[in-house]
Amino acid sequence: MTDERMDERLREYAARWAAARPAPASVPLGRQPRRTGWVPVAAAASVVALVAGIAYAVAPRRSPAPPPPLASASVPPVPTAPACGQSQVRGEVAFRPTATYVDGTLDLWTAGPTCTIPHVPTLSVVGDGLRDLGVTYRFAGDDVPVVLTAAHRRLSLTWSPPFCAQTQVVVLMVTIRTDDAFRLPLDKAALPECDAVDRGPETNVLHAQWEHRHCTTADWQVVSSDAATGEHGVTVTAVLRNVSADFCDPYAKPFLGIRTADGRDLDLGHVSTMDLRSGPGVPPGGQVRAEVLWTAYCGPHPGGYDASMTVHGARLALALRAHPVPPCRDQDEDTDGSVATGWLTPLP
């Protein structure tokens, strides 16, 4: 069979395969989610269903047996900070107008011990008589529990196009919980004068993003490391603690180096570029879990491996025993058939 004939055969089979499956768009919207079925877009995109969808997505459905540990150091439990009290959270806001939008920052910190707010604060802008100015708020990143400490945690804000200064009082409402909000008055001078351009409230967008910096080796302390083998490869895990006084960017990719017992460095096919996370940074004292899944498609690699993981410049060494892999074939796409995929997860 020629390559062209195989190409043709694949196209024919794909067409028949697709024709045998109903298009998802034909699924009636509003249908109740089922255990193993389709949750419609309308529901998935609604706030209520979003919460349900996330819970659904993370709910355990099948419980594979845990892989046997290899070189393991136990991961200590991470203490969870209590919920922030009503009077505990402090905030400070500053705006700086530009020609076309308003730049700003919102600092949040606690006057007491470290505590947690259940989600990214909701921001709204109100004018005279606490009238909602209709500013659409969008946060760039995860809406996950946020740990607040005595250190200022800064959100950078962009308000575009800016609502002009037609009201006497403008207040930024910061809602920490449904029953807990505080008001930060804005300097009216920060708002541009009204002009002839229609700047209706419906077009206003307040955009927020956590600020953090790229931390380096000295900022991280290795708390623990672990390696476990499973059916699909070896997962190397390390827990790191931010020992700096700043919020660290948690999105740098962890890297993994594998050297076989006979001294060869494996050519890991690639580190995934699929990690689309963009959420809050790691607070001072906070921890992050770095994981690299090393999928060895073929072997053998008798005698085990020496592995080193590099996360934010922090390097740690691990000893891994061999695990069974199928024999290599000529067509295997990567040298040794190995692929490493890494991602980072902030710990609560």
Point out which residues bind another protein (CB under 8 A). Answer: 1, 3, 6-7, 9-11, 13-14, 16-21, 23-25, 33, 36-39, 41-42, 44-47, 50, 53-54, 56-57, 61-62, 64, 134, 136-143, 230-232, 269-270, 272-278, 293, 295, 297, 331-334, 337, 339, 341
Quote the least distance from Cβ 113 to another protein, whole Å: 29
Quote the least distance from Cβ 306 to another protein, whole Å: 24
Quote the least distance from Cβ 348 to another protein, whole Å: 17
Specify the residue, 197 or 274, whose C-beta has the smaller distance to another protein: 274
Q: What is the H or E stretch that residue 3 is in? A: helix 3-19
- Collapsing DSSP states into helix, strand and coil, what is residue 306? strand
Quote the least distance from Cβ 220 to another protein, whole Å: 24
Quote the least distance from Cβ 10 to another protein, whole Å: 5
Residues near 7 by Cβ (< 8 Å), separated by ≥ 6? none
Specify the residue, 284 or 337, whose C-beta has the smaller distance to another protein: 337
- Collapsing DSSP states into helix, strand and coil, what is residue 302? coil
Quote the least distance from Cβ 345 to another protein, whole Å: 12
- Collapsing DSSP states into helix, strand and coil, what is residue 336? helix
**Measured distance CA(263)–CA(260) in Å, rounded:** 5
Radius of gyration of the chain (CA): 26
**Measured distance CA(235)–CA(217) in Å, rounded:** 22
Specify the residue, 43 or 93, whose C-beta has the smaller distance to another protein: 43
Amino acid occupying residue 275: D
Does residue 113 have a cis bond before it (omega within 30 degrees)? no
Phi, psi for 338 (deg, rounded to 5): -95, 140
